[in-house]
Structure 1
Amino acid sequence: MSTIVVAHTVKPRHTRRWLDGVVLIVVLAVLWQVLSELLGPDAITTPWRTLERAVHIVSDPDFPASLYVTAFAFGSAFLISAIGGVCLGMLLGARKLAGDVMEPLMMGFYSIPKVTLYPVVLLAFGLGLWAKIVFGVMHGIVPITIFTMNAVRNMPPIYTRAARTYRLSPFAFARHVLLPACVPEVVAGLRIGFSLTLLGTLIGEMFASQSGIGHMLMIAMNRSETSTIMALALMLFVFATLVNLLLLAWQRHLTHST
């Protein structure tokens, strides 16, 4: 009987979320249309015109190559940010003194506009793939590290005492105790790091690249092609939103299961 009641309460909740999402999309589309009418198509194209342009871009024979370049650079940058940020965050969280010293340094570095560091990146790595990857990592690794470090700090002390009792090695302690206990907060950091790494990779493509979606955006900006800019921005927005929703659902599942 209790299972039936739970099923009946969960189903309306999911239905309500879907309805709220649909209502939000409709409201945003209406506001978008109103802004386009007020400001004119040269400033903001209509939703329908933007969708048409997006379909035209996707059907272009050169688009898959640009998508592959951006996806490879972003995927590499996010992988480095995720692994490096989680490992560094666990280390700094477990070592309180090191964490207290490094946290203000990382926050100070993160407060610097990354565009000002781009000449240094170009001098160190040159034009091409590695500059985009490094620029993406610069944006994404710090929030992942901070979230992971705070998750380790907030872990119940009983876990550490139990690990010492069983005389676990540092690697076994990190693998079997730290990471499982901190997974929900780590996933929250990955959500933030995902969006910021994507932002950094695209900015890197806009400044010094001959291919990729960021390069397409820069060309459209130089030509004042508002419809292309809006279409590419819409595609990136949809992609980032869907991935963030998946990560959010994973985070909620982990939070409820722990």
Structure 2
Amino acid sequence: MSIADNTTMSRHGGSPLQRASAFFGGPRGIVWARLSLIVLAAVVLELYARLLANPTFFPPLTEVAQSLFDTVLADAKIRTAVLNAIWQITIAYGLSIAVGLALGLAVGWTSFGRRSTFPIILLLYAIPQVVLLPLFVLVFGLGAGSKIAFGFSHGVFPILVNVVAGMRNVNQLYIRGAQSMGASRIDLFRHVIFPHMVPSFFAGLRLGMTMTLLGVILAELYVSTQGIGYYTKVFAETMDPAPLYAIIFLLAVIAITFNEIVRIAERRFTRWKA
């Protein structure tokens, strides 16, 4: 191919294959690819529900969508339960971040702290939290306090463990070099430790968010008579799958929203990696 042909192709955007490759390699192409996958999955699930599945257990997505607006969101009690779940998850997750980060820094700051304290933290992390639910109910009661505390107990450990692991990976030569140049503890954390522990920290935030939501919903399943977990149990026991899947969809939306907030924060604090 001559230089003139190449110039003409570049002027008109190249061949169709090249234009398609450039489009799907860009931001808009990625968005369209994601939307296409979501639409394809929805169509497959709709066809599977209508042609193969038992409607008692797996209703069509159109029925789930209708139930979302006609049954779930139309019920004031369920709307209130959803809003309560959101603020309970928010409080529990915020406490998990604050306590997990503070304890992680305190434990991981020195090798003595890691050797003396970290094994105890791992031991506590290994205990299935659900077996402690009656204890949370006895201490915090049947209200929002037990749900927030139980969500906190699920979310704090992944953050704490990942913060300690991230600080453990910081090269000590960088710390000593910064200290030799007169860096304060704040400067040391801001310019040396935090940039190196960011990947582990945000990995812990993602895990902590998922576990916090799980803890709050588990508490509502067992100790609540009006939370979103309670309504999930009611619809499951009454064999009413459409509103059950609608509530599951709402929980997925809540989890995705929190995950997107974490992703935006991660992008903000890792711009230096670009």
TM-score by length of structure 2 reads 0.80
Q: Which residue of 2 aligns with 1:27?
A: 40
Answer yes or no: is 1:118 the counterpart of 2:118.
no
> Does the 8 Å CA contact 2:169/2:196 hold for their aligned counterparts?
no
Q: Which residue of 1 aligns with 2:212?
A: 197
Letter in 2 for 1:149: V
1:60–1:179 Cα change, 3 Å: same
2:240 to 220, 225, 230: 225
Cα distance between partner residues in 2 of 1:59 and 1:110 = 40
Q: SS at 1:21's partner residue?
A: helix
Letter in 1 for 2:162: F
Q: Which residue of 2 aligns with 1:6?
A: none
Structure 1 residues 68-98: Cα deviation after superposition (integer angstroms, max 9, x where no partner): 3212211111011011111111222212232
Structure 1 residues 96-134: Cα deviation after superposition (integer angstroms, max 9, x where no partner): 232234444333433333221111211222211111111
Letter in 1 for 2:63: R
Answer yes or no: is 1:99 the counterpart of 2:96.
no
1:104–1:224 Cα change, 3 Å: farther
Cα distance between partner residues in 1 of 2:117 and 2:236 = 39
Cα distance between partner residues in 1 of 2:23 and 2:106 = 39
Bigger mean CA offset, 107-116 vs 143-152: 107-116
> Does the 8 Å CA contact 1:93/1:99 hold for their aligned counterparts?
yes
* Residue 244 of structure 1: how far off its partner (Å): 1.8
Q: Which residue of 2 aligns with 1:17?
A: 30
Bigger mean CA offset, 134-143 vs 214-223: 214-223
Q: Which residue of 2 aligns with 1:44?
A: 58
Cα distance between partner residues in 2 of 1:95 and 1:27 = 51
Structure 1 regions of 5+ residues with no counterpart?
1-8
Q: SS at 2:26's partner residue?
A: helix
* Residue 10 of structure 1: how far off its partner (Å): 9.8
* Residue 191 of structure 1: how far off its partner (Å): 1.4
Cα distance between partner residues in 2 of 1:119 and 1:252 = 39
Cα distance between partner residues in 2 of 1:149 and 1:240 = 25
Cα distance between partner residues in 1 of 2:262 and 2:250 = 19
Bigger mean CA offset, 216-225 vs 190-199: 216-225
* Residue 167 of structure 1: how far off its partner (Å): 5.0
Letter in 1 for 2:238: R
Cα distance between partner residues in 1 of 2:98 and 2:259 = 18
Structure 2 regions of 5+ residues with no counterpart?
1-21
Bigger mean CA offset, 9-18 vs 233-242: 9-18
Answer yes or no: is 1:87 the counterpart of 2:102.
yes
1:225–1:106 Cα change, 3 Å: farther
Cα distance between partner residues in 2 of 1:105 and 1:34 = 51
Larger Rg: 2
Bigger mean CA offset, 92-101 vs 203-212: 92-101
Cα distance between partner residues in 2 of 1:103 and 1:20 = 43
Q: SS at 2:76's partner residue?
A: coil
Q: SS at 1:39's partner residue?
A: coil
Q: SS at 2:224's partner residue?
A: coil
Q: Which residue of 1 aligns with 2:200?
A: 185
Structure 1 residues 179-227: Cα deviation after superposition (integer angstroms, max 9, x where no partner): 3543343222211111110111111111112332122212222322211
Cα distance between partner residues in 2 of 1:93 and 1:27 = 46
Bigger mean CA offset, 98-107 vs 111-120: 98-107
Cα distance between partner residues in 2 of 1:87 and 1:15 = 40
Percent of residue pairs identical: 27
Cα distance between partner residues in 2 of 1:77 and 1:93 = 23
Bigger mean CA offset, 180-189 vs 191-200: 180-189
Cα distance between partner residues in 1 of 2:26 and 2:165 = 31
Q: SS at 2:158's partner residue?
A: helix
